[in-house]
Amino acid sequence: MRIVIAGGHGKIALHLLRQWPDGTATGLVRDPGQIPDLEAAGQSGVVCDLENVSVAELTEVISGYDALVFAAGAGPGSGVPRKKTVDEGAAILCADAAERAGVRRLVQISSMGADQTPDPSRDEVWAAYLAAKGNAEADLRGRDLDWTILRPGLLTDDPATGLVTLAPATGRGPVPRADVAAVIAALLTSGAAVHQTLELIGGETPVPDAVEDL
């Protein structure tokens, strides 16, 4: 299976690239200086700025792949406008392109709380982030694609444990980014959880079993 990852230099994406069979994944990056990191992971990279590419151009880039993973995000320190253009706009753009290119399998990394009203004690950027994720989720659910929406808990850079809790509702909790990548890899290779929205935190179930249990 050949996969393409939007946001290919993100931390989860780099874990997924390292875990995926060499030479069968491509990361989309905005900065050409990031491509050597993807190559060091055994994969390839393509320069593609998701805030400035047309749907026709992106369709051409992703044509021929078996699956697309949306792992892009505006990231810490970005303001309200980029939550709208990346976390929402780029996600919708990728779904548009996937439909046009015939890339039916799409895994979208979202966020816990994307379906809830933001805590009023949090700042406007956080509210914009959750709104953007929620809008991207709603858009994807209405599409004729084999989609899965994954909402990880508090992301950490701890080593992978290989043990998770994966379900429509898990409650809050931390999860290593490496384990998130492992779950995405298992979802892609198994074909499980199509048309499901799942939460993910650390737990006691091995990743293969957690995905099989779905």
Could you tell me which residues are beta bridge partners of residue 200?
Answer: 152, 166
Q: The whole model's pTM is what?
A: 0.95
Average pLDDT of span 21-33: 97
Say which amino acid occupies 38.
L
Of the listed ranges 10-19, 69-78, 115-124, the least confidently predicted one is 115-124
For 80, counting Cβ atoms within 10 Å of its Cβ (0-12 exposed, 13-18 middle, 19+ buried), the class is middle
Give the pLDDT confidence score for residue 79 in this predicted structure: 84
- Number of independent structural domains in the chain: 1
Residue 193 sits in a domain whose CATH number is 3.40.50.720
Widest Cα–Cα separation across the chain:
46
Question: How far is it, in rounded angstroms, from Cα 151 to Cα 113?
Answer: 9
Decide if pLDDT at 44 tops 80: yes
Confidence class of residue 120 from pLDDT cuts 50, 70 and 90? low
Residue 63 — φ and ψ, nearest 5°? Answer: -60, 140
Say whether pLDDT at 77 is over 90.
no
The whole-angstrom separation of Cα 186 and Cα 73 is 22
Q: pLDDT class for 177, splitting at 50, 70, 90?
A: very high
Output the DSSP codes for 2-20: -EEEETTTSHHHHHHHHHS
Contact (Cβ atoms closer than 8 angstroms) between residue 30 and residue 48: yes
**Where are the strands (E) in 48-170, listed by range?**
67-70, 105-109, 146-152, 154-156, 163-167
| Other residues' Cβ atoms within 10 Å of the Cβ of residue 47 | 14
Here the tokens at position 129 are: 């982030």
> Which tokens in the block code for residue 19?
């875990």
Residue 122, pLDDT > 80, answer no
The domain in which residue 33 lies consists of: 3-212
Q: What integer is the mean pLDDT of 173-187?
A: 98
Q: Enter the tokens of residue 214.
A: 């779905």
